[in-house]
Structures are given as structure tokens and as C-alpha cells.
């Protein structure tokens, strides 16, 4: 057995202490023949330190497209010739989206906006929208609205937003290759404010942006240092018209190695399947990931692309005997 798996068993499984960057890199470099054993270990770690429940979430875009930032993977940047047009969701439709999400058994509903940070109009929409959802639907509300000021952090807390998503997207050393309109450190600053406010921190990123395997390990280590409550893991779905539109998708086995490595770096975090899993992993790989460290899913559609039907994921969870985390367990 590879030495790194022995070490991970003793350190991560037994003691709940995540691997360091060198250990993560060793995991990412494991041979294909070691993959089944790696996934089993990552699954054991997840079961021991998180339990069998799977947290189910739905997401919706409150404001789509026309973003002034230049994240090279993103079809919602207004700086590329992407076919995605700017559009706002009205409040009744937002509440309906929350209701549909709750109907799947999900405990989380995340409201997302394609912005550098919120302006007065977006904050007003959030006040109205979050209030309407809380009155009509039994679900926890999370938000992802870009970089925040301290006043905006405080206002979101007052609205009852319980978790804030802000992805670092990739490691610090690769970030300038992907985004030039703001810095990794600015993102880190927002995350620090969110943490101090008492909101739960949700922070992940996208694999397959052109980062090296060393940089993938660097990213996992930096996330572990941040210690987020939740880590959403996306795989690049190359979008027409974006600078990364012609990149290849991540190989299924590399995606599974990464899932296991992120779990071994962060034994207690909520590690969520987010965008791109359908094209990178397909149905079979989706199952392998749920048996290799993943303990949360986004069900239904994404912000500008579609997912598989929520029922397909819920049936799979049932088959795997993984109960959906109940709303009461999150309160």
C-alpha cells in the first residue's frame, strides 16, 4: 500500500487531522490502481467525521450576466462575447424557486448574483426576497453576491442569511491567470469578514482551469487553512465565448482523486458536488464521488446551465443509504 494512504489512515481517519500540502500532492499523484483504496479511505473519513447524511441544496441566479469582472471561466462576465444576457429574477419567481427546492427535501437555498459586489438595488432585492422566502418556505437561506463591505455583511446577518458563499476559485499562485479585475487577497478579505460575522463560510472553486497538480494541492491546503464550513467543488464546464471555452474537461479519474484529496485535507467540511460533475463524471462517476468523500449535492439546475433532475440524485442517495440531512438538523 502507498505510504501516503497509511499516513492518511493514521492521521486523518484516526485523529481527524487533515493532510498538509505535501500529503495532498502525494494523494493527487497516486496511480490509477490505487484509486479504489483511496476512495474507500476518503469515504471512511467522511463517514467517521461527518456521518452518512448528505446536505442537499438548490441554487438560483437572482441577477444573471453583465458582470464587470473577468473570471476567465465565467459565461456571466460582460467582458466576453458569451451568449448569456443580463436578466433579473422577480421576487415571486425567487420564492417559487425556493419552494421547488424545499419540495425536493433540500435544507439549503442559495441566492446568487453575478456582480463584483452588491449595489443598493441588489441589497434591496435581497431584503425583500429573503423576507418573502422566510415567510413562505421552510428552508435555510444562503447567499453569494461577490465581495462585501462590513455594512453589507452586517445587513445580510440581520436579514437572516445563515451562510455566505464566496469561492477562492483556485490557488493563490494561479489566480492571476484566471482573474485580473480583482485579487485573491480581496476575496480572502471578504471571507474573513464573513467568518467574523458568525455566518457560515462556504468557499470552494473550480478544477480544470489549467492549474498544475501542484497548484491543485496548493489550493486544497489554502482552503484547509481557511477551514470553511462548506467547500463546493466545481469542474470546468468550458463555456462558449469565454477565454477558457476551449479547455478540455477534467478526466473522471483526476476528478475523483481530487475529491478524495480534498476530503483528506478537510475531514470535517461539507464537501459539495457543484457544477460540471455531469460532464466530468457522468452518472457512474457521480456515484463514485459520493462513495469517495462527497457529502453534499446541488440538486436541479445551476445558474446558467442545467443539472440532472433532482429525482435522479435523490434516488441515488436512497440507493446508497445516505439520508438527506433534515432541516431540523441544520438549525
Binding residues for ligand SF4, per CB under 6 A?
67, 69, 71, 74, 76-77, 114, 146
Query: Binding residue per annotation — 71?
Result: yes
The CA–CA distances, whole Å, from 208 to 88, 247, 303 equal 29, 8, 19
Q: Is 278 in the site for other proteins (CB under 8 A)?
A: yes
Stretch that binds other proteins, among 66-74, 97-105, 189-197, 212-220 (CB under 8 A): 97-105
Nearer to ligand SF4, 13 or 115 (CB): 115
Q: What is the DSSP letter of 169?
A: B
Partners of 142 in beta bridges: 110, 163
Select from other proteins, ligand SF4, none the partner in contact with residue 176, using the beta carbon and a kind-dependent cut-off of 5 to 8 Å.
none
Q: Is 97 in the site for other proteins (CB under 8 A)?
A: yes
Q: How far apart are the first and last CA of the chain?
A: 42
Q: Within positions 29 to 68, which residues make up the interface with other proteins, using CB under 8 A?
A: 58-61, 64
Closest by CA position to 167, among listed 213, 100, 236? 236
Nearer to other proteins, 41 or 106 (CB): 106
Coil, helix or strand at residue 230 = strand
Whether 265 and 223 have beta carbons less than 8 Å apart is answered as yes
Query: Binding residue per annotation — 272?
Result: yes
Q: What is the DSSP letter of 80?
A: S
Q: Is 310 in the site for other proteins (CB under 8 A)?
A: yes
Query: Binding residue per annotation — 203?
Result: no
Select from ligand SF4, other proteins, none the partner in contact with residue 310, using the beta carbon and a kind-dependent cut-off of 5 to 8 Å.
other proteins
Stretch that binds other proteins, among 83-91, 170-178, 187-195, 218-226 (CB under 8 A): 83-91
Select from other proteins, ligand SF4, none the partner in contact with residue 160, using the beta carbon and a kind-dependent cut-off of 5 to 8 Å.
none
Torsion of CA 261, 317, 109, 44, to 10 degrees: -30
Cell numbers that stand for 121 in this block: 438595488
- Residue 220 to residue 250: CA distance in whole angstroms: 17
Select from ligand SF4, other proteins, none the partner in contact with residue 67, using the beta carbon and a kind-dependent cut-off of 5 to 8 Å.
ligand SF4
Residue pointed to by grid coordinates 446568487:
112
Query: Binding residue per annotation — 172?
Result: no
Residue pointed to by grid coordinates 459520493:
290
Annotated binding site: 67, 71, 74, 110, 202, 272
Annotated binding site for [2Fe-2S] cluster: 110, 202, 272
Amino acid at each position: 500500500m502507498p505510504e501516503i494512504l497509511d499516513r492518511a489512515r493514521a492521521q486523518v481517519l484516526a485523529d481527524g487531522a487533515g493532510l498538509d500540502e505535501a500529503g495532498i500532492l502525494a494523494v493527487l499523484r497516486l496511480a490509477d490502481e490505487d484509486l479504489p483504496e483511496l476512495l474507500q479511505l476518503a469515504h471512511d473519513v467522511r463517514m467517521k467525521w461527518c456521518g452518512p447524511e448528505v446536505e442537499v441544496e438548490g441554487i438560483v441566479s437572482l441577477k444573471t450576466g453583465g458582470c464587470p469582472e473577468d473570471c476567465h471561466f465565467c459565461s456571466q462576465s460582460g467582458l466576453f462575447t458569451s451568449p448569456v444576457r443580463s436578466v433579473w429574477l422577480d421576487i415571486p419567481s425567487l420564492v417559487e424557486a425556493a419552494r421547488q427546492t424545499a419540495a425536493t427535501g433540500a435544507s439549503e437555498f442559495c441566492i446568487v448574483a453575478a456582480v463584483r459586489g452588491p449595489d443598493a438595488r441588489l441589497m434591496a432585492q435581497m431584503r425583500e426576497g429573503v423576507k418573502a422566502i422566510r415567510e413562505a418556505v421552510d428552508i435555510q437561506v444562503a447567499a453569494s453576491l461577490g465581495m462585501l463591505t462590513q455594512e453589507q455583511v452586517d445587513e445580510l446577518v440581520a436579514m437572516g442569511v445563515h451562510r455566505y458563499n464566496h469561492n477562492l476559485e483556485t490557488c493563490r499562485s494561479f489566480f492571476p491567470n484566471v482573474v485580473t479585475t480583482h485579487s485573491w487577497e480581496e476575496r480572502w478579505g471578504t471571507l474573513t469578514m464573513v467568518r467574523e460575522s458568525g455566518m457560515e463560510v462556504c468557499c470552494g472553486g473550480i478544477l480544470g482551469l489549467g492549474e498544475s497538480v501542484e497548484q491543485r494541492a496548493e489550493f486544497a491546503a489554502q482552503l484547509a487553512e481557511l477551514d470553511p464550513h462548506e467547500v463546493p467543488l466545481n469542474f470546468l464546464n468550458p463555456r462558449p465565448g469565454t477565454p477558457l471555452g476551449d479547455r478540455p474537461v477534467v478526466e473522471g479519474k483526476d476528478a475523483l482523486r481530487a475529491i478524495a484529496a480534498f476530503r483528506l485535507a478537510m475531514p470535517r467540511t461539507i464537501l459539495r458536488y457543484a457544477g460540471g460533475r455531469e460532464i466530468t463524471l457522468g452518472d457512474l462517476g457521480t456515484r463514485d464521488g459520493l462513495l469517495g468523500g462527497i457529502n453534499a449535492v446541488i440538486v436541479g439546475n445551476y445558474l446558467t446551465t442545467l443539472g440532472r433532475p433532482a429525482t435522479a440524485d435523490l434516488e441515488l442517495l436512497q440507493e446508497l443509504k445516505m439520508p438527506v440531512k433534515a432541516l431540523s438538523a441544520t438549525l
